Amino acid sequence: MITASLLKKYDRPVPRYTSYPTVPQWEPEISVEKWETNFSEQFSIENSQNGIALYIHLPFCESLCTYCGCNKKITSNHKVEGEYIEAILKEWTLYLRLMKEKPVLRELHLGGGTPTFFSPENLEKLLLPILNSCTLADDHAFSFEGHPNNTTYDHLKTLYDLGFRRVSFGVQDNDPIVQQIINRIQPFYKVQEVTEIAREIGYTSVNYDLIYGLPRQTTESMERTLKQVLSLKPDRVAFYSYAHVPWTSRGQRLFDENDLPSAELKMELYRLGKFQFAMHGYQDIGMDHFALPTDELYLARWREAGKTGEWKMEEGEGKREAGYGRREEPKLHRNFMGYTTQSSKLLIGLGVSSISDTGNAYAQNNKTIREYYELINQGKLAITKGYFLDEEDLSFKQYILDISCKGKTNFKKADLPMLQQFSFPVLEELAADGLLTWNEEGLSLSCKGHHFIRIVCSAFDLFIQRKRQEGEESIRYSKAI
């Protein structure tokens, strides 16, 4: 049982581990030439094995959601679409020149901002040249983020015809009082309408993003929101903790912090959500993600966890409905897009502030549109900060990935000195609380520990653990609960 005292104990600021090392540890400037060489080398290895993943950041929004910590540009001027599309395609051409063969595209995600800010015609204008320059993997996975207020039939149909089968709608909260304070007025009927349209067209996975810990939320309002959204049976739900980081997100400074739920109330909202998801048949994938048994994400998680008996599921259950007899079973992976069933280690991020990952290096684009345009129009990649991983980084990155996706990991003997000094003392405490079992060969999460994946991963974050042993505070992150 997950007790309130245990939740309180481990409600610490830790990263979400979409990368390791995490972004605050990266160098403020890296050599673009070194990045290009590294990219070309890793592409030659990865493309023939697993293909590439592609993330396109579309930053424009018509209004400011004050809770949002994403990189966005607020405007009602839709003339900006053309210039931005032109820049993205120029950036893609720069990457194509670094590839020695035609890329195999395995995964594509449109994130924001609000991707459905762009007209269906302009989304097609953006995507067709990219798709035409790639070979599509047989089991490619294309997804996009949509705002229920402005996602139209034409958006959904156009993207479906281009190969998209998964859509994520930002619901956040249905309560009118909460919606007003976060400046996201969105009637429930709009969520229902756009979900029904997506399913009628043929989308096989609909995700809802929900947030707990928002201003003015109560257990009663959260219960109403959960009842409404779960009545639509989304295939996946991302149940995020509101990250109050006003030092990086100016919009959050508009809140009266007295309106935020107390730590005790926020934990109760968390427990309420997890209980309702379980009651409605959703499996906790980890790191705030939940999925129904017919969804790929569930099947990918079961592929690993089912081997250890963590879940009770008969061989083949759920697979026939999803048609998996015709393709390889999905594998769970984690990158800057969160959990995914695609295994490519090479991710190209296009657009302002986007992040690319070659498996052993990271690079982030400039965060301002003006500077991004300037560099791209000069025929240069718009890279600013980044990080090149050494052997130690790669080892501890793999431990974190294994824990996130498999719930277990094996230790390398060569890493034992670092593990003994920094990680094992933390594992002793976690094991004492029943979160895992471990020895010098590896560890395995318990069912209870599965609810604290971020905390367990942080035991292998050498940047955090070094500071901890030196008595220094970690860089500010959102809290784990």
More confident of the two residues 306 and 156: 156
Phi, psi of 145 (to 5 degrees): -100, 130
Provide the pLDDT for residue 326. 31
The answer to whether the beta carbons of residues 404 and 443 sit under 8 Å apart is: no
The answer to whether the beta carbons of residues 444 and 408 sit under 8 Å apart is: yes
Q: Which of 3-12, 88-97, 461-470 has the lowest mean pLDDT?
A: 3-12
**Cα separation of 481 and 473, whole Å?**
19
The answer to whether the beta carbons of residues 219 and 170 sit under 8 Å apart is: no
Kindly indicate the confidence band of residue 475, based on its pLDDT and cuts at 50, 70 and 90: low
- Kindly give the pairing relationship between strand 52-58 and strand 135-146: unpaired
Residues 318 and 442 in one domain: no
Residue 313 has pLDDT above 50, yes or no: no
Provide the pLDDT for residue 378. 98
Residues 408 and 304 in one domain: no
pLDDT digits (tens, 9 = 90+) for 335-368: 888 888 877 889 999 999 999 999 999 999 999 9
Q: Is residue 403, in this structure, part of any structural domain at all?
A: yes
The answer to whether the beta carbons of residues 339 and 297 sit under 8 Å apart is: yes
What is the percent of the chain with per-residue pLDDT over 90, rounded to a whole number? 74
Average pLDDT over residues 430-453: 95
Q: Is residue 383, in this structure, part of any structural domain at all?
A: no
Specify the number of domains making up the chain. 2
Provide the pLDDT for residue 287. 86
The answer to whether the beta carbons of residues 345 and 357 sit under 8 Å apart is: yes
Residues 94 and 9 in one domain: no
Residue 13 has pLDDT above 70, yes or no: yes
Provide the pLDDT for residue 426. 97
CATH number at residue 461: 1.10.10.920
Q: Which of 28-42, 130-144, 188-202, 239-253 has the lowest mean pLDDT?
A: 239-253
Kindly indicate the confidence band of residue 166, based on its pLDDT and cuts at 50, 70 and 90: very high
Kindly indicate the confidence band of residue 7, based on its pLDDT and cuts at 50, 70 and 90: confident
Average pLDDT over residues 194-216: 97
Residues 156 and 239 in one domain: yes
For the CA atoms of the chain, what is the radius of gyration?
22
Residues 338 and 409 in one domain: no
Average pLDDT over residues 20-30: 95
Average pLDDT over residues 240-269: 77
Residues 210 and 335 in one domain: yes
Residue 322 has pLDDT above 80, yes or no: no
Residues 208 and 292 in one domain: yes
Q: Which of 151-155, 256-260, 280-284 has the lowest mean pLDDT?
A: 256-260
Residues 450 and 303 in one domain: no
Residues 307 and 215 in one domain: yes
Q: Is residue 232, in this structure, part of any structural domain at all?
A: yes
Q: Is residue 370, in this structure, part of any structural domain at all?
A: no
Q: Which of 200-204, 232-236, 260-264 has the lowest mean pLDDT?
A: 260-264
In this prediction the pTM is 0.91
Q: Which of 340, 356, 372 corresponds to the end of one domain?
A: 356
**Cα separation of 456 and 436, whole Å?**
9
Q: Is residue 38, in this structure, part of any structural domain at all?
A: yes
pLDDT digits (tens, 9 = 90+) for 109-160: 999 999 999 999 999 999 999 999 999 999 899 999 999 999 999 999 999 9
Q: Is residue 378, in this structure, part of any structural domain at all?
A: no
The answer to whether the beta carbons of residues 295 and 235 sit under 8 Å apart is: yes
Q: Name 445's bridge partners.
A: 436
DSSP per residue over 363-386, as a string?
EEE-SSHHHHHHHHHTT---EEEE
What is the percent of the chain with per-residue pLDDT over 70, rounded to a whole number? 91
Residues 286 and 431 in one domain: no
Q: Which of 309, 337, 356 corresponds to the end of one domain?
A: 356
Q: Is residue 372, in this structure, part of any structural domain at all?
A: no
Residue 88 has pLDDT above 90, yes or no: yes
Q: Which two tokens stand for residue 394?
A: 């790669």
The amino acid at residue 36 is: E
Residue 392 has pLDDT above 80, yes or no: yes
Mean pLDDT of the chain: 90
Residues 16 and 30 in one domain: no
Phi, psi of 415 (to 5 degrees): -90, -5
Provide the pLDDT for residue 330. 58
Provide the pLDDT for residue 311. 35
Q: Which two tokens stand for residue 69?
A: 């910590």
**Domain range enclosing 340:** 23-356
Residues 15 and 102 in one domain: no
Provide the pLDDT for residue 309. 39
**Cα separation of 188 and 175, whole Å?**
9
Q: Is residue 379, in this structure, part of any structural domain at all?
A: no
Q: Which of 356, 383, 412 corresponds to the end of one domain?
A: 356
Provide the pLDDT for residue 247. 56
CATH number at residue 228: 3.80.30.20
Provide the pLDDT for residue 315. 31
